[in-house]
Structure 1
Amino acid sequence: MTAPKTLVFLPGFLGAKTDFDTVIAHLPSNVSTVVLTLPDSVKQSVTFDACVVDWFKSTQGQLPTAFYLYGYSLGGRFAMAIAQYLSRQSPDALRGLMIESAHPGLSLQHEKTQRLASDKKWANAFKNEPLGEVLLSWYRQPVFSSLTASTIAQFIQKKSHLNGLKMAEQLLNFSLANQPNYSSFLRSLTCPLAYLSGEYDRKFTHVGRSLGVGTHRIIKGAGHNIHYSHAKSVAKQLTLMFKQ
């Protein structure tokens, strides 16, 4: 009999608990899942690491002592911070880490400056402009170029209930500009590690190749949002990790 496993999902910016439903439907029957909701802010802390860890500590009680972790985009960046925290505090807690289309961190100051300026611009738009218009602009960014017009319309409709002020807060509080670079940590990680990028997502395929750690899987026919368009492929990669 195969031992039961727990998989914790972390959605991306603008994400919801239902985002991984199709992936979950294709997982083995011995896998239980938990989908966490990312915070928009954690007021006790100031650094990216501390913010994520403070939030994780407040949710850790609902998790088993050992689990696998999957994070997409912003959730992937959270997952890296959580993995680093667990490696120091509970080395046996993390059984495996899978990252989808997430950046490990910027190294150059001018990159951080440019990213912060971009995030401030988007935050201002989420605060002050009609949400539907901002979401349309958001999904027209190059990283989402593989999305069809009908898919973008579905995404906008699904996210029309979101609070623009809270989205702005999340963007700024967890900006990539304020995140440390987790590349070195990921190279030292002892548990199974996999990085997923889409064939049509050139930016994050380059990121995955540059990491040079764990297993980098390029999902054929996928763009940035792999778990949405290629849920079965994601479930397959997770199942392979469970067997390691």
Structure 2
Amino acid sequence: MLFLHGFMGSSGDWEGVAASLRGSFRTLAADLPGHGASVGLPPERYTMEGAAGAVLGLLDGLGVGRCALCGYSMGGRLALYLALRSPGRFSALLLESASPGLEDPAERAARRRADEERARELEGGDLEGFVGRWYRRPLFASLARRGELAGELARRRLRNDPGELARSLRGMGTGRQPPLWGALPALAMPALAVAGELDPKFAALARRMEREAPPLRAAVVPGAGHNVHLERPGAFGRLLREFLEERGLE
């Protein structure tokens, strides 16, 4: 099973989830462009298409012909892109707090402008200030109730190179992603869209994906916000294992 992290994350974000699957699965986790060890790359890598090519290249290099795929937030958007563009490479798909993109061109343009402003903030060099502002957004309100977890998450994010994060935002932000809603009915594998109860925007997106893609079902986790696998690791792990067991993938 291959795991893809969110913005400012790294492959290490999945250590707990991956550990829960050991004995049943060989697990892999990738550092996406601009994160972890995937830095200093050619410009074309910092796009959805370029990142997808890098993921497929990783699987090819390891001799993995087909695997299950799990992605969180930005990594979930990439996971859905991969599942729709290269369906033969993936046996199942789990999306955590992920979106098929923005349908309205004006909304995409506004998001690109917002991401450009954030990229310039990052290039200003105040990564600590940027991380603090990022996690004060309403999307992450539930983390404020989990002080120790929020602090640890912020410390991990400070390991990033702010210039590399800026490149990621400009190339892989939601405003740059081609919307995938029209392709959802063609989804050809078992899929689960997970969202937190305290993240109503993404819970609604998960339910809409369930209506529009017959192989996909939605699951909303009580007491969790945007980052379900860190806020409610036990519940997330159970959902993942049950999803795989139901489909005979263990």
Normalising to structure 1: TM-score of the pair? 0.89
* Correspondence list, 1:40-119, <5 A: 40=34, 42-44=42-44, 48-60=47-59, 61-62=61-62, 64-87=64-87, 91=88, 93-119=89-115
Map 1:144-183 onto structure 2 (within 5 A). Answer: 144-148=140-144, 149-183=147-181
CA offsets 1:36-58 (integer angstroms, 9 cap, x no match):
11013653479x44323332233
Distance 1:105 1:132, change over 3 A: same
Structure 2 stretches lacking a partner, 5+ long:
35-40
SS of the aligned residue for 2:218 comes to: strand
Contact 1:226 1:234 in 2 (8 A): yes
The answer to whether residue 23 in structure 2 is matched with residue 29 in structure 1 is yes
Distance 1:194 1:239, change over 3 A: same
Q: 2:201 corresponds to which residue?
A: 203
CA distance in 1, matches of 2:30, 2:75: 9
Give distance in 1, aligned partners of 2:138 and 2:71. 21
Contact 1:200 1:221 in 2 (8 A): yes
Report SS of the residue matched to 1:177.
Answer: coil
Alpha-carbon distance, 1:27 to partner: 2.4
Write the distance in 2 (CA, Å) between the matches of 1:63 and 1:107: 36
After superposing on structure 2, the runs of 4+ consecutive aligned residues of structure 1 that deviate more than 3 Å are: none
Higher relative contact order (CA 8 A, sep 6+): 1
Could you tell me the percent identity over the aligned residues? Answer: 26
Report the alpha carbon displacement of residue 190 of structure 1 after superposing the two structures with TM.
Answer: 2.1
The yes-or-no answer on 1:139 pairing with 2:141 is no
1:221 Cα deviation from its structure 2 partner: 0.5
User: Residue type of the partner of 2:105?
Assistant: Q
Q: Deviation per CA, 1:45-100, whole angstroms, max 9, x where unpaired?
A: 79x4432333223312225212100000010111111112212xxx2x31100000
Normalising to structure 2: TM-score of the pair?
Answer: 0.87
The equivalent residue for 1:4 is none
2:37 is aligned to none
Q: Is the contact between residue 112 and residue 173 of structure 2 (CA under 8 Å) also seen in structure 1?
A: yes
Structure 1 residues 90-125: Cα deviation after superposition (integer angstroms, max 9, x where no partner): x2x311000000111111111011101110111111
Give yes or no for contact 1:69–1:97 (8 Å, CA) kept in 2.
Answer: yes
> Does residue 130 of the first structure (1) align with residue 132 of the second (2)?
no
Code of the aligned partner of 1:205: A
- Alignment length (residue pairs): 233
